[in-house]
Structure 1
């Protein structure tokens, strides 16, 4: 019995000592880990400030390994991967966050938004759309709808784009009436390509009614009416643009001339063009006026004189070229000179996107370069 008590008396201090030593070791390890995580984090932040993204990613990976439960480090890492174009790694980071059961609702929504952006940047539009739909009813709802709108416009899903634009307008984001009129115009163009002119006319009439201030539906409606042999209706539709002094009216000048000639309304069209030109001088309107001039020599000479008058209002190589080519009291221009003038004026006759600078021979309502709407001024490059 005495031996047993001796061992107990000896064992108690030993057990206490071993326990104390173990606790000290655990505390030391915890302190080391806690020191390592902030050190790696601040190292990564320093690399970011110095725009050294590769080293920042390595530092954040080290910090995540030291503290795998820190969601903010995961978000930082996912954003860095996306900015570097490593979309597959960004997707894995955000999917890992979404798989965590301990993630708060706010962080889960944030991770879902990050995942949607990963898919969007990677060009995986179907997956991006699915991820964006899951953000309905969250603080990211407005951003998600705008992203979905861009997806539908890019994939030319005009009815879906109109539905999302309607939701955005109802939520107070902006007025999308002109944008939705563009969607109807795009559907009308597709209907014309499919040979369904009646449907196209209906869509354009609806667009004109929904957005009376939008010029594109009226221009397309007038052009389609003219193509369908409705010359008088086309003339009335297009003349309204000039009567309103719409800035986009020059885009319809050539179509107005054709409609007026077909409907026997040349004098009325010339009057409308002259009234518009007096307020907004423009080379396209000037050429339309010249086309409608009567065939009498005196009238033709007076019409040709307009190019010289136009040069007094604003310098224009296009107008100068037209004036030189129309001179009848001298020998015609030598072929090399005429060709040189044509080459010099060709770039000036283009249209240029005000958002990205993309130039094209024809006017675009939806820029093929930057996807912006109504970014092309209805004037030639020379007149900007």
Structure 2
């Protein structure tokens, strides 16, 4: 058991002791039954004994059993429920919170607070349908603005987890002025709808959803990339290139992300010189490894390997990177092979080292929580934020 959890249990015990003291004082004034007080005190000290012996489960069970639910102790019960949930025992938290809701004498404010905690319990247990019913009912009946806002946030989180994108949008749209931080997630939900439309061959609806995404978040790279892909599928390669030209202004860190589609659009448009000029413009803005590599491949195809080596070498002088060196070694090896010379073993050794180092590293990282992953995902699996995973500079070209 960690010190943090032990401290939490101890604080809960202190709160319970305080609640018991007040409850017993009230009982002493209202009835002459000292044996009951003595019994309660004994139970309380039994709980403390469990706590001091590092038996937190027995301690909490003792406190819950001895503490009567009333207006003075309800906060302590709620705290104990939260403690169970934080310890990974959400089923016990459900028991505590459901027991509280069974008390009709509780004030409406407390009743709603308990409903929110019970919804959190259900979500932790994966009982999304029960949590959704509880939250929907609370939003229909609550007059407490803070509870309504909390309930909406929980409901949106639940709907997002379930992939109910339109329902999440419906809940959120009316709150964007008050919560502008939700514009980016909502834009991605529209992108999710567009992806579904695309799979169902509803291209017009997909484009409509993507335009709504960009209205909400003008910097939504994902929406721009999807519009470019749709233009490509329609055979409008010049339009796709124009769409991709917006990405560096939206988020220059996603320049590596747009390159495969950019290359395909230019080649299908039979405009390899245009691709080279576009890559040179991107490198003037941000010298990413993947851009250097693609420029090297383009020059190689147009003017031969020696010119490619020269161009890549110049770019790496400006912005050295592991991925760039790995590609340059490939060019040197190929150059020797084309010249009919035996490959320098030192180059092969260097290639093994650079490749091994690259193989050990992920290609993308979440800028919010640091989570690393090989392939790009638009929602971080760790912190669940949207649009925060981006290529890692220097190895993104591999």
TM-score over 0.5 for the pair: yes
Equivalent-residue separation in structure 2 for 1:93 and 1:173 (angstroms) = 33
**Relative to structure 2, which stretch is displaced further, 301-310 or 118-127?**
301-310
Aligned to 2:212: 206
Aligned to 2:375: 362
Matched, 1:249 2:265: no
Matched, 1:303 2:313: no
Cα shift at 1:373: 1.2
Q: Does the 8 A contact of 1:270 with 1:292 survive in 2? A: yes
Question: 1:252-275 CA deviation, whole Å, 9 max, x = no partner?
Answer: 012112112222443344333222
Aligned to 1:320: 325
Cα shift at 1:130: 1.4
Question: 1:223-254 CA deviation, whole Å, 9 max, x = no partner?
Answer: 22113321111111112324667332221012
Equivalent-residue separation in structure 1 for 2:132 and 2:194 (angstroms) = 26
Equivalent-residue separation in structure 1 for 2:360 and 2:59 (angstroms) = 47
Q: 1:325 to 1:382 in 2, by over 3 A?
A: closer
Root-mean-square deviation over aligned CA pairs: 3.2
Aligned to 1:191: 197
**Which of these two proteins has the greater Rg computed from alpha carbons?**
1
Q: Does the 8 A contact of 2:288 with 2:394 survive in 1? A: no
Aligned to 2:130: 127
Q: Does the 8 A contact of 2:94 with 2:121 survive in 1? A: yes
Cα shift at 1:41: 5.4
Task: Report the secondary structure of 1:372's partner residue.
Answer: coil
Equivalent-residue separation in structure 2 for 1:205 and 1:331 (angstroms) = 56
In structure 2, the gaps of 5 or more residues are 1-27
Matched, 1:54 2:54: no
Cα shift at 1:28: 4.8
Aligned residues: 354
Equivalent-residue separation in structure 2 for 1:249 and 1:158 (angstroms) = 28
Equivalent-residue separation in structure 1 for 2:364 and 2:238 (angstroms) = 30
Q: 1:225 to 1:339 in 2, by over 3 A?
A: farther
Task: Report the secondary structure of 1:234's partner residue.
Answer: helix
**Relative to structure 2, which stretch is displaced further, 105-114 or 333-342?**
333-342
Matched, 1:150 2:163: no
> What TM-score results when the alignment is normalised by the length of structure 2?
0.77
**Relative to structure 2, which stretch is displaced further, 281-290 or 319-328?**
281-290
Question: 1:286-337 CA deviation, whole Å, 9 max, x = no partner?
Answer: 1232233274446x43333343334434442211110011111454467975
Q: Does the 8 A contact of 1:215 with 1:246 survive in 2? A: no
Aligned to 2:96: 93
Higher relative contact order (CA 8 A, sep 6+): 2
Question: 1:171-222 CA deviation, whole Å, 9 max, x = no partner?
Answer: x133322222211211122222233333323322332344322211111211
Equivalent-residue separation in structure 1 for 2:106 and 2:188 (angstroms) = 43
In structure 1, the gaps of 5 or more residues are 1-23
Q: 1:207 to 1:245 in 2, by over 3 A?
A: closer
